[in-house]
Amino acid sequence: MFDCGTIAIIGGGSRATAIAKIVVGHTHHIGWYMRRDDRIDDFRRLGHNPAYLMGVRFDIDEIFFSSDINKIADSYDTLVFVTPSPYLKNHLKKLRVRLKDKFVVTAIKGIVPDENLVCSEYFHQVYDVPYENLACLGGPSHAEEVALERLSYLTVGCSDRDKAQAFADVLSSEYIKTKTSDDVVGIEYSSVLKNVYAIAAGICSGLKFGDNFQAVLMANAVQEMSRLLQAVHPLERNVYDSVYLGDLLVTGYSNFSRNRTFGTMIGKGYSVKSAQIEMEMIAEGYFGTKCMKEINRHLHVNMPILDAVYNILYERISPQIEIKLLTDSFR
């Protein structure tokens, strides 16, 4: 049976904090890389993350903090990456430690901009991490709800099912149910797409469309997602599983969803720039929309919702016009 060994968290945001809470509750020791020394100092002094999920208390004696990613990567066996996808390359630029012998878990629900690769493919192609040492973490799991210990379901994807199960065992608790999958790429692409569809849901909400249309939008979104997943990674999968459809629904409907919030602001008439400034948090779907549009130029999958969101965000076409065209394509 595979042993995850010592585990480190890479990233300092709300999702990283929620995952750290889950893991340290089981292991009673984690390494934790954060970019800023002042944040680490404040964390040590306060006993909680000074910027995110401030209600989650930690025993500081159970955490080894460092702003040196090499020190963390060298000292720990399993590295859980939880940075916003647009910043992943910048963090990894500083890395001098070989990752190919580490167990790398990506909990990043985004795509690497400029590369147009999901994170597992990026680690495999650029850092030579073998597929059996790469896992992803998916499922409907807003960090805020995990922090409140509300029941959540997580799926660990890895081509090596023993390794997936070993990491799932680290996460399992009274409020975290886990399952495993070997559909790493499918889970990652669905995690990117659900953010795009959540922006679409937000735009429609901002335009004052009602619940009836939101339901039609989500029904069409899961069909669109299924078409793309089959094109990019043909596999026998059930897109109605919680890791696909469940994550799509919570991201599209929940008030905790920053992508939905971003879309709502766009629907109400904010420019992209002003919405980003006011939110102060990364809406991964903004970057994911452009990446998925570029990927689909080679795949030619019918994706009217993706096209509509892209036209609104990047071509500056009026949301009213674009969503009207979209409504005519739905059944």
Average pLDDT, the chain: 96
Given 182, 217, 247, the domain boundary residue is 182
Q: CA-CA distance, 320 to 20, in Å (whole number)?
A: 41
Q: What phi and psi values does residue 66 have, to the nearest 5 degrees?
A: -160, 145
Q: What pLDDT is stored for residue 185 in this prediction?
A: 96
* Same-domain pairing of 233 and 124: no
How many domains, in total, are found in the chain?
A: 2
Q: Mark whether 310 and 257 lie in a shared domain.
A: yes
182 vs 331, which has greater pLDDT?
182
Contacts of 278 (CB under 8 A, 6+ apart): 265, 270
Residue 29: inside a domain, yes or no?
yes
CATH number at residue 265: 1.10.1040.10
122 in the same domain as 55? yes
Q: Are residues 228 and 137 in the same domain?
A: no
CA angle 112, 142, 197 (to 5 degrees): 55
Q: Which residue has better confidence, 331 or 192?
A: 192
Query: Do 204 and 265 lie in a common domain?
Result: yes
Residue 247 exposed, middle or buried by CB count within 10 Å (0-12, 13-18, 19+): buried
Domain boundary among 120, 154, 182: 182
Q: Model's pTM, two decimal places?
A: 0.95
pLDDT in tens, 276-302: 999 877 789 999 999 999 999 999 999
CATH number at residue 80: 3.40.50.720
Q: Are 194 and 252 in contact (CB under 8 A)?
A: yes
Do the domain assignments include residue 228?
A: yes
| Residues near 308 by beta carbon (within 8 Å), at least 6 away in sequence | 200, 322, 323, 325, 326
Is residue 78 predicted with pLDDT exceeding 90? yes
**What pLDDT shows up at residue 283?**
87
pLDDT at 279 (0 to 100): 87
What pLDDT digit, counting tens, does each position of 81-93 carry?
999 998 999 999 9
Note down the domain range covering 163. 7-182
